[in-house]
């Protein structure tokens, strides 16, 4: 019988994006991306984070396994925390309140939260735990790279780096909760194979997010 740990490891391995697939993060890391790309990243996230928060809370409410409900409730709390860090990042990237109000968001950047909202309405929450946990491995790595590059290459103050710092910080408690959620679902006899397909699409939509910004600004 497959364990939660083995299934999560399989998902991370199968769904890991190639280093060459994200074209924006390496440019920021090298200091060659324009400041406008970073500002746009922050403003897109200002729309994405509240949408993801509602999706996570919807998944928590729909969960039948206690650990799955706790997992998504914790993610919703995290989105509440990071939302307040984004204006400083946007401002450091050249988008003050007036610029943020007139910014036209890009469809390729908003596809990820749209798909997550679809999952919240249509998917088994336990399978979504598998999908988002696999995706978070790459997302955390991207944020860790940005946390260093924004300071080193763009001289951003700590306040402006709060958003990427949050996601760059390892969250072992959330990882353990994900394993418990998946194990509870497996113990109930559920097949979570759909979670691998959900994770593949989340990975591709996230890469679309980054590369839409790259296509627009690089």
Residue 129 CB coordination number (10 Å): 31
Q: Can you give the pTM of this predicted structure?
A: 0.95
Which pLDDT tens digit goes with each residue over 137-185? 899 999 999 999 999 999 999 999 999 999 999 999 999 999 999 999 9
Structural domains for the chain = 4-13+21-217 (1.20.910.10)
Q: What is the mean pLDDT of residues 204-216?
A: 98
Given a contact cutoff of 8 angstroms between Cβ atoms, the answer to whether 15 and 203 are in contact is yes
User: pLDDT value at position 160?
Assistant: 98
User: pLDDT value at position 19?
Assistant: 75
Given a contact cutoff of 8 angstroms between Cβ atoms, the answer to whether 103 and 47 are in contact is no
DSSP 23: S
User: pLDDT value at position 1?
Assistant: 58
Contacts of 41 (CB under 8 A, 6+ apart): 24, 89, 93, 213
Residue 157 CB coordination number (10 Å): 11
Sign of CA dihedral 171, 163, 142, 152: negative
**CA 218 to CA 216: how far, in whole Å?**
6
User: pLDDT value at position 84?
Assistant: 96
User: pLDDT value at position 31?
Assistant: 98
Which pLDDT tens digit goes with each residue over 24-81? 999 999 999 999 999 999 999 999 999 999 999 999 999 999 999 999 999 999 999 9
User: pLDDT value at position 193?
Assistant: 93
Q: What is the mean pLDDT of residues 175-197?
A: 96
Element at 201 (helix H, strand E):
helix 193-217
**CA 23 to CA 212: how far, in whole Å?**
9
User: pLDDT value at position 18?
Assistant: 84
Q: What is the dihedral of CA 23, 117, 167, 217, to 10 degrees?
A: 30
**CA 119 to CA 115: how far, in whole Å?**
6
CA 43 to chain centre: 15
Reduced to 3 DSSP states, what percent helix, strand and coil does the chain have, rounded to the nearest 5?
80, 0, 20
């Amino acid at each position: 019988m497959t364990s939660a740990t083995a299934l999560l490891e399989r998902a991370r391995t199968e769904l890991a994006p190639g280093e060459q697939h994200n074209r924006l993060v390496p440019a920021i890391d090298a200091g060659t991306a324009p400041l406008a790309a970073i500002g746009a990243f922050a403003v897109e996230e200002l729309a994405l984070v509240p949408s993801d928060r509602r999706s996570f809370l919807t998944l928590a409410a729909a969960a039948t396994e206690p650990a799955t409900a706790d997992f998504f409730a914790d993610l919703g709390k995290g989105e509440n925390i990071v939302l307040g860090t984004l204006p400083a990042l946007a401002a450091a990237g050249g988008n003050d309140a007036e610029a943020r109000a007139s910014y036209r968001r890009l469809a390729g950047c908003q596809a990820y939260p749209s798909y997550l909202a679809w999952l919240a309405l249509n998917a088994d929450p336990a399978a979504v735990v598998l999908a988002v946990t696999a995706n978070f491995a790459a997302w955390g790595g991207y944020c860790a790279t940005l946390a260093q590059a924004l300071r080193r290459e763009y001289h951003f103050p700590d306040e402006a780096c709060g958003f990427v710092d949050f996601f760059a910080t390892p969250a072992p408690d959330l990882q353990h909760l994900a394993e418990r959620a998946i194990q509870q679902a497996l113990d109930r006899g559920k097949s979570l194979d759909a979670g691998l397909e959900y994770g593949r699409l989340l990975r591709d939509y996230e890469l679309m997010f980054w590369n839409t910004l790259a296509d627009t600004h690089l």
